Structure 1
Amino acid sequence: MAAHNRGSGPQAAMARLKGVGNELFQHGRYGEAAARYSEAIGRLQEPGSSLPAELSVLYSNRAACYLKIGNCSDCVKDCTASLELIPFALKPLIRRATAYEALERYRKAFVDYRTATQVDGRVQAAQDGMNRMRKLLMEKDGNSWRDNLPPLPSVPVALQHKWTPSAPERKEAEKTSIQQNGDNSAPNNLEQAKCFKEAGNVLVKKGEFRKAVEKYSASLDLNRKECTTYTNRALCYLNLKRYPEAVQDCTAALALDPKNLKAFYRRALARKELKDYKASLTDLREMLKLDPNNSAGQHLLYEVQKLAK
């Protein structure tokens, strides 16, 4: 009977739900993963089942799901709950900083990134984030930018990861930094890029194209391999009448996906406005080869042919 209770109690149920959540997360099913983590959190909040370390991890895991789907406000709440249970935990610190950055709460983002670097100075995402926030805050507040920061917590010495790199470690760190800055494939960077992209999408729906450009640009700084971020920013540039930039973004998108219809169409639009009718017609013909019945492409082709005459 005792063995049965151990296998069917709140803690065992929590472990199963957490495992399912982890698997769903790995497969990109973030909403479903968040639901499983929520169930697991509920099990640990039952009387007699308090495990602060496990509960902290679950909040942090659910925060990661929220960050992936662009729900930055709930990400902040869950990271805060996680950190209340286990102060100075690295993952919720960085996730909350990323969410604050996407929400344009740059001072709070700086504090979390800086705190994360105190916990472990090897984390490149925290170093990069702190540098980005410093630059933004200096542009906004000038040399007095530090005066407006929230209180900076002092990380206990026992929790600081002391690290003095040897020569081989320095070379490896430099190599990692180059890879992250060039290929932008580090997991933390991809997580941040996703959050910025989702924030840009929200701004586009509101018609705030200038702000959306800033978000998409921040996303592309972290991940240059996401085709739709280029085409989304190109749409913003079209609405802002910044046609050369729209052409550049569509060209970058086509380098990643040579059959991208939106990139062909938006580049054709931009080239039409630049009076480069020949290039615009070339784009539209390529697009219609891929999708002969595309009515928007057919209509624009007719317009540009008239202008070219």
Structure 2
Amino acid sequence: FFSIVSSMNRFQKQAFINGLDAELATLRGDIQCEGVDMLKLFDSSNQALQASPGDAGALLRRGKARAFLGDLDGALKDFDEAGSSAEQTMARSQCLHAMGRGMQADSAKAESLKEAGNRLFQSKEFKQAADQYTQALQHDATHFKVLNNLASCYFNLGDYSNATHFSGLAVWHSEQQRTPFLKAYVRHADSIVALKQFRHAAEAYKRGLRCLKKPPPPLNNPEAEKEKEIANGLYKQGDWAEAATHYGLAINHEGARAPTSAVLYANRSAAYLLKGLAKISDGLNDAEAAINLQPVYSMGYMRKAEFLILKEDYEAAAEVLKMAIKMCDA
């Protein structure tokens, strides 16, 4: 078996593995090459475009990576800027198809096939469920719940590349329809974690956490509110050191252990973040304080993750953000 797999090229190997049962795919321990390659392609093409902003080849490569990850607006922009070629024309056409452009949707048929897929999914017949969801998308390519369900099938089959792709499309379509679907954000990030691409996973979790952002409760102390407003003004002006000082004064007025001080700790953490590496420990301490005071306040987790990203501890950052979604969605 393994000698057969090793003799294949990487794309044949992926197709072969994708056809296996989830148990066997897990036993093989093979991470799908396409998903990892596309994430790396996104990074390398970004670097190339920083050096040469009009590089048509780099634009085309980044567009393909963006389309794979579900960033269809960004992909279409890259394809349009890349200039005309046979490869560009095909990639652009595929992007428009993924957007659902030019499709006459049959919502009733898509919904019927989705329900059939759901029944198979509940019976853990993931391959058969995926077939139903794929057929549903032929009738409505914009159905974000079908896209996410298809991603979940692939995830359960151990195909994290396709799980990444279809959950990314689910996120995009849910945003287009102004009904952000948290399950799609989480499935997208979880799939990227399964590919062990933790920096990208952290960014994906952050997108999901922003869906749960709620305004913090108001401060109780008028003097604290006054200092907070002064700090906010200094922060916007780029005077982060003075902003941090005034957030500290606001904390003193409101009370270091008052739950309403969580926003002040999170804001001071942000000011420390902009001062960089020298303030990592102070910023992390403030982020932890915000989390402890208000466990359902998303910005505490966000600040902690940003400092972990600054330290290049991307796996820990992804874990913090996943926990944040769980806590804030309670």
State the TM-score, normalizing by the size of structure 2. Answer: 0.33
State the TM-score, normalizing by the size of structure 1. Answer: 0.35
